[in-house]
Amino acid sequence: MKNKTILICLVYMMASFGTSCNKFLDRDPLGQIAQDKLFNSETNANAAVLGIYRTMMNSFSFGQSVIVVPEFSARHVSHSASFPEYENFSEHKIQAINPWISNMWQALYTTINAANQVIEEVPKMTEAMITEEKKNILVGEAKFIRALNYFFLVRAFNKVPLKLTYTKEGDNIDIQESDKEVLYEQVVKDLTDAIVSLPEENPNTGNAAKGRASHWAAKALLAKVYLYQASITNDYKKAADLANEVLTAGGFGLVTEFSTIWTTQNTSEAIFEIQFDDQVTNPLAAVANDNASVLFFAKESEILDIYAEQDKRKNFTVKKGNNDKYFMGKFPNFSPASQNVTAIRLAEIYLIHAEAQGRVDNGVSTAAYNSLKAVQDRAGVTVPINAYPNLEEFIVAVQEEKEKELMFEGETWFDFGRTKLALKKYESLTDERFLLYPIPSAQIGLGTGLTQNPGY
């Protein structure tokens, strides 16, 4: 890879985001700090970590594309202008020159590069600059974020370059792609390290407690990673055990009213939320509501019928607006667009536990069913255990529950792809090779050894 094309230098990228800060990121943007002063004090090292979070807030990353593009693939959303670049995802006919593929790829690697810099440089700092405890926390946060971004990449592309050092000026980098087994091993290692480095008692308060990586956020994400990795290892016990630990010992709780997860933000259910506010706004929230700027609509013909009439999630999740069009209800804070991104929350952990525990028990056990029931109870659509005659139907039911629960949160496409349920759900998807996105042709064109995914 060429460093100025794929792995943009952290300082350059941070400068490109401008100088606005929010309550959570109330430090000077990293681009305003000279390179030779980045890692000479705890304050500046902390600013470097905050800069990593900032990279995820732009419209090509978790601020928009990383969430909404998989929602196109899951046939949950449409664009106001029916751009073919988006509609090709809904039709499962993506081209390797699709700009959104390229944009996401570069944005994710920018974040990874920023995390790599912290992971590499902070341990070199002296005791006079920073305490050992603070070093561990900052590196743990960086490893969590690196894992989160590689997790998206491996699910989306299956094989990508595994870059674990940051790009320095003048570097000529040529990294071969790694297959999914190696990528998952690295993601697991990063999260395992983060769990050790981040204290069980979160040292942050207020919004930062939910908006910065924590010990329990690392465990929750690792439970999810284990569920996906089990398609390779067939070991679901790790996912079941870790999800159960988060449920029983993490100190989180399902909120009573589903809508309050988004109308209040940073609730007891939130495990990790990417923080936006009036100054640093959410690019997706700004264009996903019933207003003059709307670009993304809910695809009512595809999703309204998946909810039962009595489902308490339905009317909040899929809202009817002007001109009889529907929009995504999970972005209510849009003027200004201060809506957080609920990257990890407890309801998903319940559903991860339900499936993984069922697989471990090789049947619809009480423990597995109770986790599914907890989510259904809140939604007002509880189904008795005897409605699931076998494990296979139970797993499908859990995934369908996850679709209803996590609608517009960027999860369904990958979850259905993990079990191949997508091949039954989408008539336009006739070849399992298209469960993966194509490697951006521009990246292959750099001549770094990348090869295209089969079928593209």
Mean pLDDT computed over every residue of the chain: 91
**Coil, helix or strand at residue 407:** coil
Cα(261)–Cα(225) distance, integer angstroms: 23
CA distance 424 to 426: 6
Note the helical H segments in 406-448: 412-419, 422-425, 441-444
Q: Residue 127 pLDDT > 50, yes or no?
A: yes
Nearest partner of 139 among 150, 123, 125, 128, judged by Cα:
123
**10-278+341-424 CATH, one of 3.40.50.1220, 3.40.50.300, 1.25.40.390, 3.40.50.800:** 1.25.40.390
- pLDDT, mean of residues 301-316: 94
pLDDT on residue 307? 97
Res 66: pLDDT:
98
Band the pLDDT of 36: cuts 50, 70, 90.
Answer: low
Which of the residue ranges 2-6, 34-38, 335-339 would you say has the lowest mean pLDDT? 2-6
**Predicted local distance difference test score (pLDDT) of residue 291:** 87
Token pair 């971004």: residue? 149
Least confident span in 7-11, 257-261, 333-337:
7-11
pLDDT of residue 447: 77
Single out the residue of 97, 76, 71, 77 nearest to residue 85, CA to CA: 97
**Model confidence at 433: pLDDT above 90:** yes
* pLDDT value of residue 23: 38
For the chain, the domains span 10-278+341-424, 285-328
Q: Range with the lowest mean pLDDT among 153-167, 319-333, 398-412?
A: 319-333
Model confidence at 6: pLDDT above 70: no
**pLDDT value at residue 158:** 97
- What's the confidence (pLDDT) of residue 446? 85
